[in-house]
Amino acid sequence: MFCPKCGSILLPKAEKGKTILSCSCGYRSKGEEIKFTESAKPKAEIQIGVAEEKEVLPLTDADCTKCGHKKAYHWEVQTRAGDEPPTRFFKCEMCKHTWREYK
């Protein structure tokens, strides 16, 4: 509820054993007692599950050093100084073994 004089929010105040709404500008609601009820919404149940693992990396031809599979996901990271080539990482499509290649 808002104050009809200044538009501020009316705040509850205990006065003479009653709860009324009042404003900082001096406005007070007319003698009627205000009753507040408090209710809480039931908490929503959250279900946590394991999502299917999907690779979003590009697939390339590379021989896995562990199982010999011919396809692997790859990405590059600049692990050394900026004037040196980046390090290429591979992750086998079949056994998920990860290895790196320096150029």
Active centre residues (catalytic) = 83-84
pLDDT band at 99 (very low <50, low <70, confident <90, very high): very high
- Please give the single-letter amino acid code of residue 21: L
Which residues, in sequence order, are CB contacts of 59 under 8 Å at separation 6+? 71, 72, 73, 74, 93
How many angstroms separate the CA atoms of 79 and 103, rounded?
A: 12
pLDDT attached to residue 34: 66
The lowest-confidence range among 39-43, 77-81, 96-100 is 39-43
Fold of 59-101: N-terminal domain of TfIIb (2.20.25)
pLDDT attached to residue 98: 93
Using one digit for the tens of pLDDT, what is the confidence trace for 9-34?
A: 888 887 777 778 888 888 887 766 66
- Domain extents in the chain: 1-36, 59-101
CA distances from 23 to 13, 18, 39 (A): 9, 16, 25
* Backbone torsion region of residue 98, taken as left when φ is above 0, otherwise alpha when ψ lies between -120 and 50, otherwise beta: beta
For the beta carbon of residue 6, count every other beta carbon within 10 angstroms.
Answer: 11
Say yes or no to pLDDT of 56 above 90.
no
